[in-house]
Amino acid sequence: MKKYTRSMGTALACFLVVIALNFFLPRMLPGNPIAYLTGFAEEDMTPRQYEYYRSALHLDESLPAQFMYYLQSLLDGSLGYSYKKEAVVSELIFDRLGNTLQITLPAVLLSAALGLVWGLSCGFHKNGLADRASTSLLIVLNALPTFLIALVLVIVFGFKARWLPYAGLNSAGVPAGGAEYVLDRLRHLVLPVASLALAALPSRYLMMRNMAAQAADEKYVLYARARGLPPGLIERGYILRNIAQPFVTMAGMSVSTCVGGSLVIENVFSINGMGTLLSDAVYTLDYPLMQGILFVTTLIMVISIVAADIICVLIDPRVRWGERV
């Protein structure tokens, strides 16, 4: 149990560090902090605009007072103000976050499920034909960049076969609401979700395969085989229960990685999500928006890590009872 308490504590500490960096970095960098906090160069501002931004950002007050205003923007959910887009940062992010999560969450679940089942089976039957072929294939797939996987799927299933749409989240002219809209959205999600899932699959498979292969030589597995138990029962009832925790932890930590990886996928498939919003923020030097996206991404990471640790506690009775069973 102490292990998971430390993990949660580490995640919380990282979250607090990101909050502090978001506040202090623009004020510590060389140059005028107004330029970093607004995205506008000082020479492009009139004296009146300069004084307005200085007052609006509370830079005319003490550093502790500025930090309190910053914390207030986090607590009230606004996350600051984007002067480039003239909108509250949280509104800009949450308008796009739903599109990103529609890609990320199915991809995480799909890659985790495939990696678990496939890796467990190949690891249990290690050195067989299926194990050698699968491991070789996924090592090659692991070397391919995400954008290349996405482009191959677009060419094969979008351009050549014309089975699936390859741009946006809905077709033009489809009215919002109703079964037709939902089915159209699902068709548009197939290629981006498959691209992100295939990019994430090799790490899940290889981790599960290696742990299962190592566990297959343990004494408790050899005893189970000697008793004549079915292979499926040994895989699920003996091996999986003992190696599930590291896999669940990795899957939880990968959520934020997939959110970051969606940047490439969203650009390839022309999806207005967090990735394209971050690209716009970087290109236009919209620092408040970049800070807000970093904050939300870190928050997602912390939530996913804590959720993974809770699942590990629930599935392992040794952790629930203080490792006395």
Give me the domains of the chain, ranges plus CATH numbers.
2-89 (no CATH), 92-320 (1.10.3720.10)
**Which residues have C-beta within 8 Å of that of residue 145, sequence separation ≥ 6?**
264
What's 239's DSSP letter? I
Q: Measured between alpha carbons, how far is 52 from 59 in angstroms, rounded to an integer?
A: 10
For residue 18, the number of C-alpha atoms closer than 13 Å in the C-beta half-sphere is: 20
Nearest by Cα to 116 from 300, 228, 251: 251
162: helix, strand or coil:
coil
User: How much is the pLDDT for 324?
Assistant: 43
What's 44's DSSP letter? G
User: How much is the pLDDT for 2?
Assistant: 61
| Parts of the chain with a pLDDT under 70 | 1-5, 7-8, 29, 31, 42, 256-257, 260, 316-325
- Tokens representing residue 15 in the block: 């979250």
* Helical ranges in 216-321 per DSSP H: 219-226, 231-233, 240-268, 274-283, 287-315, 317-320
| Residue whose structure tokens are 């090799």 | 202
- Tokens representing residue 148 in the block: 């290349």
Helix (H) or strand (E) segment spanning residue 148: helix 146-153
Q: Write the pLDDT tens digit of every residue in 154-206.
A: 898 888 888 888 887 777 777 777 788 888 888 889 999 999 899 889 988 99
What's 77's DSSP letter? T
Q: Measured between alpha carbons, how far is 98 from 145 in angstroms, rounded to an integer?
A: 25
β-bridge mates for residue 88, sequence order:
81
